[in-house]
Every structure is written in C-alpha cells, then in structure tokens.
C-alpha cells in the first residue's frame, strides 16, 4: 500500500489512519475510488437518535460588523475536541469576511476551495457526531456606535451589545450582565401590545389569573433597562446607560429552542416567545 496515498487522503479528508487504509484496501489502492468510499463514509448517519443540541455558539467582530452563530453536535465532549473547536474558529474567521446573512448563505461560503457545509460535515465525521450549523446572524452597526461582547463557558453563551457610542468597559459590563440576567426585551416601552398579551398568557398559564401590577412586575424582570445592574444592584440599567443608550442586544444561548424537540424556527424558542434580535441591524 502506497504510504503517500494514505497521507494524501488523510490530509484531504481529515480522517484517521484506519479509515483511510481500509478505504484504499477496498478500492484496490485506487485513489479516486478510495475518495468515493471515504465520501460515503462522511455522509450523515441517519441511524443516530441523539439530538444534536450541544456544541458551541461563537461571536466574531470586525470593524462595524459582527456575526453570531451556533454549531451543534451531539455531546458536551466536542468543546474539548480540537477538531471541533478549531473548525468553529476557522469558519467564524471566514464568515466575518464574507457577505453571508442567512444560514444558507453561510453554508455556501468557501474556505480554501471547500464549502463551509463540507467542512462541518467532514468535522462531524472526524468526531463521529452529527454536526451542523444551526443559526447565523450578521449585525452591522453605524460607525459612531459601539459594540460590547462576551463569550461565556466555551461558547455556551455569546452576547453582543450595540451602544449609542463606543465604550468598551460599559459594553463588556452590559454583555456580562445580559449573560447572567437573560433579559428578553430592551425596555418595557419597546414591548408592543401583542407581546404584552402573550406574556400575560404565558404567565397565567403557569400561575392563574394575574393583575396588571403583577404583569408589570414580571415585564420589569425580563426587560434589560429595568434590571438591577449585576455589579451594583442599587443601580438600574436604565440609569447606568443614561448617557449611552443601548441600541439593541443579542443573546445566543447554546441549544436555545432545541430542548423541547419540536420543529422550531432558528431564532425563536419552542414556546413561541420572541428573542430581541434581528438578522441585520442598520441594513440600508
């Protein structure tokens, strides 16, 4: 068996020595035939019954743009696997340089002549887990505005904040606060009547009829501006950002919406509630 062919196929596919040798043996040392066998081996395993809800989220910022995305796999162990973590970092660097806006766009972005979709599939074969790009958002701010960001626990949470003007310290503090307090809305004033009605429905579903005051207290707990600042509970966020308002915030939590195993939309939890994110902020 030609050792050069083994090396070449390993470099092309990222597969181990055993898989490559077996493919070459089945192909009678024919390189093209071995590629076909290995490609078949790289196909997703339809027999897997595990829900791919693990993995990691990631956030990449460059100039006035940022991307948030989530790559899912089947077990928690993938965040300790360099093949997976390096792949997430690699595709993040490629995606921020691209013009991709949707998941479909992102999967078709090429890196060294290979589509992102193929790179993710190959990585899934290496780690022997179903692996896929679940969601992707691109955010564009105005030049005068500022970003704040925070990534928590190897990508379990990725937070992005857009401020009226640049303030790295405030941006980081707010991102860490959002990671901990998990607000759903920016402010009570920003919640429309239909959403208020929905929040009342969900609250009453769990605890029976509630008064307007109880509903308002609930809305305050899930509105960023009405939350006590994590570093100083005597200070509300709306007081903290009085001179530098928050334009919007993005909170990507790993597996968000998958846990109920329903047919969820990419950025909406299975309970139907909304997330205060949009695919592209400031699109002209």
Give the residue among 231, 228, 223 at the shortest CA–CA distance from 173: 231
- DSSP SS3 for 12: helix
Model confidence pLDDT, tens digit, residues 203-244: 999 899 999 999 999 999 999 999 999 999 999 999 999 999
pLDDT of residue 280: 42
pLDDT of residue 86: 96
Give the residue among 112, 109, 123, 91 at the shortest CA–CA distance from 14: 123
Element housing 234 (H / E): strand 232-236
State the greatest distance between any 2 C-alpha atoms of the chain, in Å, as a whole number.
78
pLDDT of residue 42: 57
β-bridge mates for residue 126, sequence order: none
Fold adopted by 50-140+254-284: Tetrahydropterin Synthase; Chain A (3.30.479)
How far from each other are the two terminal CA atoms of the chain, in whole angstroms?
Answer: 58
> Domain coordinates of the chain in residue numbers?
3-41, 50-140+254-284
Alpha helices in the chain (DSSP H): 3-13, 17-26, 31-41, 82-97, 103-108, 116-127, 168-181, 193-207, 212-221, 237-240
Ranges in the chain, pLDDT < 50: 45-49, 260-284
CA distance 164 to 281: 13
Please enumerate in sequence order all residues whose Cβ is within 8 A of that of 22, keeping only pairs 6 or more positions apart, or say none.
none
What tokens were used for 124?
């899934």
CA distance 122 to 135: 19
pLDDT of residue 30: 84
Query: Cα 70 to chain center, whole Å?
Result: 3
CA distance 91 to 173: 27
pLDDT of residue 271: 39
Please enumerate in sequence order all residues whose Cβ is within 8 A of that of 261, keeping only pairs 6 or more positions apart, or say none.
51
Please enumerate in sequence order all residues whose Cβ is within 8 A of that of 124, keeping only pairs 6 or more positions apart, or say none.
42, 44, 73, 130, 131, 132
């Amino acid at each position: 068996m030609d050792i050069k062919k083994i090396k070449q196929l390993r470099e092309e596919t990222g597969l181990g020595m055993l898989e490559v040798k077996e493919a070459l043996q089945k192909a009678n040392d024919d390189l093209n035939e071995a590629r076909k066998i290995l490609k078949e081996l790289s196909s997703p395993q339809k027999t897997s019954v595990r829900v791919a809800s693990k993995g990691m989220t990631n956030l990449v910022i460059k100039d006035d743009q940022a991307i948030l995305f989530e790559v899912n796999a089947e077990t928690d162990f993938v965040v300790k696997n360099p093949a997976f973590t390096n792949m997430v970092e690699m595709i993040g660097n490629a995606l921020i340089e691209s013009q991709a806006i949707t998941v479909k766009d992102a999967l078709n972005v090429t890196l060294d002549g290979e589509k992102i979709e193929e790179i993710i599939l190959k990585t899934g074969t290496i780690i022997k887990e179903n692996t896929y790009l679940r969601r992707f958002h691109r955010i564009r701010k105005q030049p005068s505005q500022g970003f704040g960001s925070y990534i928590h626990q190897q990508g379990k949470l990725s937070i992005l904040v857009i401020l009226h003007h640049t303030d790295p310290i405030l941006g980081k503090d707010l991102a860490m606060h959002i990671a901990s307090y998990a607000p759903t809305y920016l402010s009570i004033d920003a919640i429309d009547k239909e959403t208020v009605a929905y929040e009342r429905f969900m609250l009453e579903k769990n605890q029976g009829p509630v008064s307007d005051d109880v509903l308002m207290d609930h809305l305050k707990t899930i509105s960023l501006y009405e939350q006590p600042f994590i570093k100083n509970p005597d200070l509300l966020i709306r007081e903290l950002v009085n001179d530098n308002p928050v334009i919007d915030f993005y909170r990507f939590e790993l597996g968000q919406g998958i846990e109920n195993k329903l047919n969820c939309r990419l950025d909406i939890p299975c309970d139907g509630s909304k997330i205060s994110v949009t695919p592209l902020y400031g699109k002209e």
